[in-house]
């Protein structure tokens, strides 16, 4: 927010056109090969693309890649610090107590609520996904930060990992034979050519929705903030500045809530899809629950 207002002020002083202003502001949402700092920027290393057949793969380090690494480091440090504090004191206090509250919530209200007792086996993955996405979302709200979850490549990678875990948990609970049999939908064999492709497509559409939901929500909030700031220059009057900045601050506070909400939704839906596969392997538990 701070760097957005700074850029907006600079563009106003130089009298740039509306399209140039919005282009400059949107640059802060897009991925790039440089990281902005208060007194300039840091150029990131670029590598020659790798060509495999007709496909070109660029392995250059970008801003979003750096913030993905940063989020992974922060999550690792949090886990190490909290675990060491637990060794020294059984009853957590302060920061450790806050982390424990979030861990207990994810365990009881997300993992176990959707997967049953089988959720304990996959709790480490569920917690890692939750905190990893949350940290990436929060980093995008810091001055000169970037939200890696606003990059569809990052959300696609998370969705692919969830897809693997969903299928793995289902096969482990049901057995490979029962898992493959459910692709027929329980219909007559004459309808298998229709039902099997539909079931296979259904396996991917759920994770595609995970990918697009996280990407769209994290990108949309930043676009709305930039749009409110851009109204100042669209109307070419500072009279609208108080209202524009006020609305932008309001959306910024909403973005803080959305950072937690989207981490919860992605984790909850992943646990739900995993739970459906696990419970299909234990139908007696599903009937007992109902």
Give just the sign of the alpha carbon dihedral 81, 87, 89, 90.
positive
Does residue 199 fall inside a structural domain? yes
Contact 200, 149 (CB under 8 A): no
Residue 74 and residue 131: Cα distance in Å, rounded? 10
Query: Can you state the angle between helices 241-280 and 123-139, rounded to 10 degrees?
Result: 170
Residue 177 and residue 163: Cα distance in Å, rounded? 19
Sole residue written with tokens 């419970």: 279
| DSSP strand pairing (50-52 vs 55-57) | antiparallel
Spell out, as residue ranges, where the chain has pLDDT lower than 50: 2, 4-5, 7-18, 285-290
Model confidence, pTM: 0.82
Residue 214 and residue 220: Cα distance in Å, rounded? 10
Does residue 149 fall inside a structural domain? yes
* Number of domain units in the chain: 1
Does residue 275 fall inside a structural domain? yes
Number of residues that make up the chain: 290
Residue 21 and residue 60: Cα distance in Å, rounded? 28
pLDDT in tens, 73-121: 999 999 888 888 777 766 767 778 888 889 999 999 999 999 988 788 8
Does residue 51 fall inside a structural domain? no
Does residue 54 fall inside a structural domain? no
Residue 65 and residue 32: Cα distance in Å, rounded? 10
DSSP 3-60: HHHHHHHHHHHTT--HHHHHHHHHTTTS--SEEEETTEEEEPP--PPEEETTEEE---
Predicted local distance difference test score (pLDDT) of residue 28? 57
Predicted local distance difference test score (pLDDT) of residue 1? 52
Residue 248 and residue 254: Cα distance in Å, rounded? 10
Predicted local distance difference test score (pLDDT) of residue 167? 92
Q: How many CB atoms lie within 10 A of CB 5?
A: 15
Structural domain that includes position 249:
2-44+59-289
Sole residue written with tokens 């409110």: 228
Does residue 282 fall inside a structural domain? yes
Does residue 276 fall inside a structural domain? yes
Does residue 66 fall inside a structural domain? yes
Predicted local distance difference test score (pLDDT) of residue 14? 46
Contact 225, 150 (CB under 8 A): no
């Amino acid at each position: 927010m701070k760097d957005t207002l700074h850029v907006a002020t600079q563009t106003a002083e130089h009298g740039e056109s509306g399209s140039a202003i919005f282009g400059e502001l949107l640059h802060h949402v897009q991925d790039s090969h440089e990281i902005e700092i208060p007194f300039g920027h840091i150029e990131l290393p670029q590598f020659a693309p790798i060509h495999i057949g007709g496909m070109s793969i660029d392995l250059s380090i970008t801003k979003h890649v750096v913030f993905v690494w940063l989020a992974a480091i922060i999550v690792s440090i949090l886990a190490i610090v909290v675990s060491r504090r637990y060794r020294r004191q059984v009853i957590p206090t302060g920061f450790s107590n806050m982390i424990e509250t979030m861990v207990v919530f994810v365990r009881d209200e997300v993992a176990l609520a959707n997967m049953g007792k089988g959720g304990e086996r996959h709790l480490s993955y569920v917690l890692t996904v939750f905190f990893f996405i949350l940290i990436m979302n929060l980093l995008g709200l810091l001055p000169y930060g970037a939200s890696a979850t606003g990059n569809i490549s990052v959300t696609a990678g998370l969705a692919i990992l969830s897809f693997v875990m969903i299928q793995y948990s289902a096969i482990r609970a049901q057995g490979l034979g029962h898992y493959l049999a459910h692709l027929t939908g329980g219909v007559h064999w004459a309808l298998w050519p229709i039902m099997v492709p539909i079931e296979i497509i259904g396996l991917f559409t759920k994770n595609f929705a995970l990918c697009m939901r996280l990407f769209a929500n994290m990108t949309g909030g930043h676009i709305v903030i930039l749009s409110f700031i851009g109204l100042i220059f669209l109307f070419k009057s500072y009279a609208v500045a108080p209202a524009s900045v006020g609305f932008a601050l309001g959306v910024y506070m909403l973005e803080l809530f959305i950072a937690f909400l989207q981490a919860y939704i992605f984790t909850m839906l992943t646990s739900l899809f995993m739970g459906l596969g696990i419970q299909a392997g234990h139908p007696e538990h599903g009937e007992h629950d109902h």
